[in-house]
Amino acid sequence: MDTPSSPGQHAPLSRRRRLRDAIVFVVFGVVFLSLVVSLLAYLSTVFSVVMTTSSGDGGDGGDGGDVRDVHVGEHDVQGSLAHRSVAATTSLPVDEQVVANEHAAQTTQRASGFCGDGRCEPPETAETCMADCPGVTTHAMCGEEPHSDPGGYAVMWGASHIKASAAECCDACKAHAEDPKNSERQCNSWVFCHTLPYCWALDTGHVHAFGECWLKHQTDPTNPLYGQRGKFTDEFRKTHANAHKTGLMPDGTPRNLSVPTHVPWTGGIMGAVVDLSIKWETGLDGMRSSAGESEVLWRAWETREQNLARGVKPESMPRD
């Protein structure tokens, strides 16, 4: 005859059963979640493939991807700009896509800077990019125009008036104008040689060294004279190629100055407002601007009559 067991005898067995059930539940839960995650990943992959296939017309769209890879460059901001420019146009027809890609390339080029953009930025220097460097380095009152050689009556001879910078040259012009003893011919125009070791110029009788600061008086500052301005044309450079190839330099070495690409001087008309977006070019027959203006070269070594005969404006000619 069985003897009824006390409640305490069944307690260990009941706890073991509950622990086993809990373990089984956790294992099944983990397996179920793994299956769900795998299913979602599979569906996401299928969806991406379908969308990629439907958004392109064939292999031509790949060119846009290559362009983006090229444009995302060294500078994060500039690379991002080019990336967005091309990404927005990858669904265009082939012909339009090519044009859009070229536009994006130009956008990146403008953002990153290049020699000739009018900004002197590292690693550009006067030696590597004369078109941009050194740029404007003076106060606004100086009216500085890079690559310019303003004319006028010389109130201070530059060969013996040396300054360390264009800013110092401009300051010297200002001081000259403020001196009462110079009231008859006040300095209102200045020119500085900033090219090492010498500055090329049309007058072959002198060798102009770095630091020369010419102070001048323009008869009519609103219609100033210029001897050279901006970029030299190829014809100008070829014609005057040997202008400074004879004789000796001040240090005794053979004279061998080549015509640079741009006027190696910088100068200004005091108080003038200069539009640096306008580019000038000096040729054999004078100077022309990108805005359609033209001027005749003023030559300090010629007489008044000779300058007038070539077309220099009489109202701008220095007074005797």
Residues 54-72 pLDDT 10s: 444 433 433 433 333 333 3
Helix axes 62-71, 76-87, angle to 10 degrees: 170
Q: To which H or E segment does residue 190 belong?
A: strand 189-193
What pLDDT is attached to residue 175? Answer: 98
Task: Indicate the DSSP class of residue 248.
Answer: B
Residues 116-138 have a mean pLDDT of 87
**74: pLDDT strictly greater than 50:** no
User: Is 0.75 topped by the overall pTM?
Assistant: no
A 10 A CB-CB count for 84 gives 13
Cα four-point dihedral sign 122, 128, 134, 135: negative
Q: How many residues does the chain have?
A: 320
What does the pLDDT look like over 253-307, one tens digit per residue? 988 889 999 999 999 999 999 999 999 999 998 999 999 999 988 888 889 899 8
**34: pLDDT strictly greater than 90:** no
What pLDDT is attached to residue 51? Answer: 53
CB neighbour class for 80 (10 Å; exposed up to 12, middle 13-18, buried from 19): middle
| 290-312 exposure pattern, b = at least 16 Cβ within 10 A, e = fewer | eeeeebbbbbbeeeeeebeeeeb
* CB 155 within 8 Å of CB 217: yes
Q: What letter represents residue 128's amino acid?
A: T
- Pairing type for strands 280-283 and 265-269 reads unpaired
Instruction: Give the pLDDT band of residue 3 (cuts 50, 70, 90).
Output: very low
Q: What residue has token string 């011919």?
A: 185
Nearest to 288 by CA among 218, 230, 235, 238: 230
Q: What are phi and psi of 124, to 5 degrees?
A: -65, 140
What does the pLDDT look like over 196-217, one tens digit per residue? 889 999 888 888 999 999 999 9
Q: What letter represents residue 117's amino acid?
A: D
Distance linking the first and last C-alpha atoms of the chain: 149
* CB 87 within 8 Å of CB 101: no
- Pairing type for strands 231-232 and 280-283 reads parallel
Give the percent of the chain with pLDDT over 70: 73
